[in-house]
Amino acid sequence: ACKNFVLLPAAGLLQLQDVRKTCCDFLESQLHPTNCLGIRSFADMHACTELLNQANTYAEQHFSEVVFGEEFLNLGIDQVCSLIASDMLTISSEEKVFEAVIGWVRHDKEARQEHMARLMEHVRLPLLTREYLVQRVEEETLVKNSNACKDYLIEAMKYHLLPADQRASMKTTRTRQRTPISIPKVMVVVGGQAPKAIRSVECFDFSEERWYQVAELPSRRCRAGVVCMGGLVYGVGGFNGSLRVRTADSYDPIKDQWVTIANMQDRRSTLGAAVLNGLLYAVGGFDGSTGLSSVEVYNVKTNEWFHVAPMNTRRSSVGVGVVGGVLYAVGGYDGASRQCLSSVEAYNTNKNEWTYIAEMSTRRSGAGVGVLNGLLYAVGGHDGPLVRKSVEMYDASLNSWKQVADMNMCRRNAAVCTVNGLLYVVGGDDGSCNLASVEYYNPVLDKWLLLPQCMSTGRSYAGNLLIFFLSN
């Protein structure tokens, strides 16, 4: 890539169009969340229009990963405003844009806090939930210190007070939904038990409505933690059929290739895994002899794991999810008292502290946990021999759980993710056999529907299900 950065200007000066095109094509093939802004700037400098457009589109489509990189944090104010003003950002929620702005300002707070009002002009606060506006935006010091920012917050609050049929009359850029170009969405199921630990990785293409196999894991892995971060899939810990492991692998969907990364410090199976502030959290689990309360975190930049504060309770078969910048550990099994748990804990990154929140209405070990529209869902699981089809939902603004519609099938140890406003639950087992079926929850209808296409393999204890975007 470095050679191409040298060759491209030289080719331009010498009018070697074929060499110039080859360099641009190569740089386009190397686009990644960690380098796309640099390539975009380089293309702009050398008037490579097609490469500039491709890099810009890539940055918009991978915005959620790009904002954690050094390139974004080192952008100038004009470039940040240009990016966050785009209608084409592919984001799960406007929260991503607000958090990106706060992260950029805090990177050099003294010099950048004066730009808050200009930045907030491009954050579409009315599209955020009332709970997030009150609990996160209003409490943010950088917002409190700016009268203009407070005006944008008031505008958002007014929008939420209007009846739905009157909101259309409040027309500003900030009340307009972003309209990203549709790109293929792929659901990935990593490893699992079928009935022993397997290496298989299976994907569902939503546009083509079909399942297909991709590169297998380097080794058998079930009961692992699986997340998507920076455009890569990570599988950490788990059980290989004979041992609980500390190993971790990452998968590049562009190259269809797995590589090994640094080992965790502790052996963990049936752990929970989640991404928070650009870091991978491995929560609880079972080391082969006891349930774990410990939590460790992976920094991709240093390829290192480090411990943070442990939970108050040992939790194996724990489910985790992130809502509003808070990490939740849901249920699980406490080996000490040999009980399935209804308790839930929340982790505050600023205080490095876990605190108990409202308990679920029922004990759940091996529940699938997912986040949909800013709400946390605990799906299925079991209490002793009883496998559940019930589902409950946590609203952080009320600190309370509420029952929603039951699934069609009893499931424990299933994988969960959110796609296009629906909550998908994949596989798991019903207490006697592994399941290949998939069902999804529609919150508007409060109803679960079965996906017509089943996986080729019934599997439980697959890695947390996830969705990511493949670049064109």
Q: What is the pLDDT of residue 182?
A: 58
Q: Mention every residue, 6+ apart, whose C-beta is less than 8 A from residue 291.
A: 284, 285, 314, 315, 316, 332, 333, 334, 335, 336
DSSP secondary structure letters along 102-154: HHHHHHTHHHHGGGHHHHHTTS-GGGS-HHHIIIIITT-HHHHT-HHHHHHHH
6 & 106 share domain: yes
The helix/strand/coil state of 83 is helix
What single DSSP character describes residue 198? -
162 & 198 share domain: no
105 & 232 share domain: no
Domain boundary (121, 139, 169) is at 169
Q: Mention every residue, 6+ apart, whose C-beta is less than 8 A from residue 79.
A: 37
194 & 328 share domain: yes
Domain that holds residue 342: 187-466
- Determine, yes or no, domain membership for 201: yes
How many whole angstroms separate alpha carbon 150 and alpha carbon 54? Answer: 36
Q: What is the pLDDT of residue 19?
A: 64
How many whole angstroms separate alpha carbon 436 and alpha carbon 385? Answer: 21
Report helix, strand and coil shares of the chain as percent, to nearest 5: 25, 30, 45
How many whole angstroms separate alpha carbon 151 and alpha carbon 138? Answer: 11
271 & 300 share domain: yes
407 & 458 share domain: yes
- Determine, yes or no, domain membership for 376: yes
Per the CB < 8 A criterion, the answer to whether 368 and 319 are in contact is yes
151 & 201 share domain: no
Q: Is 444 exposed, middle or buried (0-12, 13-18, 19+ CB in 10 A)?
A: exposed
127 & 266 share domain: no
- Determine, yes or no, domain membership for 134: yes
201 & 347 share domain: yes
440 & 357 share domain: yes
pLDDT tens for the chain, 472 residues long, are 444 444 445 444 445 566 677 888 888 878 888 889 999 998 888 888 888 999 999 999 888 889 988 999 999 999 999 999 999 898 877 888 999 999 999 999 999 999 999 999 999 999 888 888 999 999 999 999 999 999 999 999 998 888 866 777 777 889 888 877 655 578 899 999 988 999 999 999 877 789 999 999 999 999 999 998 877 899 999 999 999 999 999 998 888 999 999 999 999 999 999 999 889 999 999 999 999 999 999 999 999 999 999 999 999 999 999 998 899 999 999 987 788 999 999 999 999 999 999 999 999 999 999 998 889 999 999 998 899 999 999 999 899 999 999 999 999 999 998 887 789 999 999 999 999 999 999 887 899 999 999 999 899 987 645 555 443 3
- Determine, yes or no, domain membership for 427: yes
Q: Are strands 339-340 and 333-334 parallel, antiparallel or unpaired?
A: antiparallel
Q: What are the contacts of 38-45 at 24+ separation with CB within 8 A?
A: 38/71, 42/5, 42/8
Per the CB < 8 A criterion, the answer to whether 247 and 260 are in contact is yes
- Determine, yes or no, domain membership for 191: yes
- Determine, yes or no, domain membership for 289: yes
What's the CATH code of the domain at 312?
A: 2.120.10.80
* Type of residue found at 43: A
- Determine, yes or no, domain membership for 83: yes
> Residues, the chain, total?
472
- Bridge partners (DSSP) of residue 189 are 202
- Determine, yes or no, domain membership for 391: yes
* Cα-only R_g, the chain: 23
Going across the sheet that includes 304-308, the strands are 272-276, 279-283, 295-299, 304-308
436 & 316 share domain: yes
Q: What is the pLDDT of residue 239?
A: 94
Domains in the chain, number: 2
Q: What is the pLDDT of residue 3?
A: 40
Q: Structure tokens of 338? A: 């040999």
Nearest-CA neighbor of 376 among 354, 345, 407, 355?
Answer: 345
67 & 106 share domain: yes
What's the CATH code of the domain at 123?
A: 1.25.40.420
How many whole angstroms separate alpha carbon 454 and alpha carbon 42? Answer: 46
